[in-house]
Amino acid sequence: MIPLVFSHLVTIYKHVGFSSLDELSLQRIDITISSQELLDALLIALDDSNISKSGVSIRRGDPECLSLGDKVVISLSQPMKKLGLLLDSADDLLKTAIEKEPNNYYLASEQYWSGDSVAPDSVAKYRQLIEFVGLLRDLGDYYDRDSKVVVFHQGGGIKIPLLLDSIYDHGDVRGVEFYRDFIKDDVHGQQKVEILQTAIVELLRGVGKENRLRYLIQNAPLIEQSSKDSYKLFCSNFSYSKIKGEVLELKLDFSKKIHDVFASIQNQVLSIPVATIVVATQMKPISENEYQSFINFGILFGCYVFFCLIVVLLHNQWCSLKVIQGEVDRQVEKIMSEHAAVATIFEQDYNFLKKRVSKQKYVLIGVGCLVSLGLILANMLYFTIEFPAVEKPVGGIFSIISTYISGAKILLYQID
């Protein structure tokens, strides 16, 4: 004998065409064996080895001598659970199997078998609920299979019993796609789970146990909005930390570059006092030595050479500062455009770098003025020693100083 499977029973159920599991309507059912498929199904279901499993019994007719066209009276009852479930509606299916859809079941009110290719709306809603419940179980910190309760430890803890009376008493299951897409994304996966857990616990706080699952499904849009807002806040904090690291790194890098601008010429700057001492001590009156005039001229010429070299160095360093300032401005504009929401927080760091560049420029200007002043004094000392007989009115001296200051200004202007 062919083994009994649920599809054999489905053939009988669909031929009978009942729409309710009212016991009275199932005790005596008159049917006509109108097809070979129905005949085969009845013979298998009524076989002695299967009759206790099938839930099909014959009230009138000989089960061993059935043939096409025969009219018989049968009764139906629940088959063995291992074969499948005979249910009245999708609501009964929900109450019976809220964790996972059974492999085989038949809904009398829909005349639907789980193996059919097209599912009615009630079954589609049931499957959405099953998926939602599965996602909820994955989100929970613990699931008690015996009592069918999902436990969340977040925010003091909350328990959600998997209780629903009907597939229609909660509205549309709109949260399924959001939950699935939100937590299945690998980016910040753990943080997203924690965000959803917090949103669920906060929503259900104060809601009775029996109503929590239904209330959660009905208010899925609130969970979605709350989770999205929390995730945006998390991303903002994440971006802030990332940008802060970038800004601090740029700050240190540019600070070092700005510092190196002056550090690279500090030896030459330190030689200015030495040059001043040489000029002041080595320039002497001609009367002491017949070659002293050549020595004095050589010292003055060396002052001019030293002045020119310092001016070249200052010009190079000034150009370096301009390049650094341009790079700082470029980086600031880049961060402002890419992270406008948090970029203003780092305005103090940007201003710090700009002030450092300005201070270094003032230092270079100060060095240029100091060298210019030294050259002026060297010229004054030289002419005082070489031409002692020539009267030098105060106005003439100031005229010479003014001339050299003008020359220094022109050089600084050229540097800029």
- In SS3 terms, the chain reads as CCCCCHHHHHHHHHHHCCCCCCHHHHHCEEEECCCHHHHHHHHHHCCCCCHHHHCEEEEECCCCCCCCCCEEEEEECCCCCCCCEEECCHHHHHHHCCCCCCCCEEECCCCEECCCCCCCHHHHHHHHHHHHHHHHHHHCCEEECCCCEEEECHHHCEEEECCCCCCCCCCCCCHHHHHHHHHHCCCCHHHHHHHHHHHHHHHHCCCCHHHHHHHHHHCHHHHHHHHHHHHHHHHHHHHHHHHHHHHHHHHHHHHHHHHHHHHCCHHHHHHHHHHHHHHHHHCCCHHHCCCHHHHHHHHHHHHHHHHHHHHHHHHHHHHHHHHHHHHHHHHHHHHHHHCHHHHHHHHHHHHHHHHHHHHHHHHHHHHHHHHHHHHHHHHHHHHHHHCCCCCCCHHHHHHHHHHHHHHHHHHHHHHC
Looking at residue 343, what is its pLDDT?
61
b/e map of 312-326 (b: 16 or more CB within 10 Å)? ebbbebbebbeebbe
Residues in Cβ contact with 354 at an 8 Å cutoff, skipping those fewer than 6 apart: 325, 328
pLDDT, position 272:
67
Q: Which residues of the chain have pLDDT under 50?
A: 24, 393-398, 403-404, 408-409, 411-412, 414-415
pLDDT at 112: 92
pLDDT tens column, 108-133 = 888 899 989 899 988 988 888 888 88
Contact 106, 113 (CB under 8 A): yes
pLDDT exceeding 90 applies to what percent of the chain?
Answer: 7
Which tens digits make up the pLDDT trace of 286-305? 665 667 777 778 878 888 88
173-210 b/e (C-beta count within 10 Å ≥ 16 → b)? bbbbebbeebbeeeeeeeebbebbbbbbbebbeebeee
pLDDT reported for residue 394: 43
> How many angstroms separate the first and last alpha carbons of the chain?
106
**What per-residue confidence (pLDDT) applies to 214?**
85
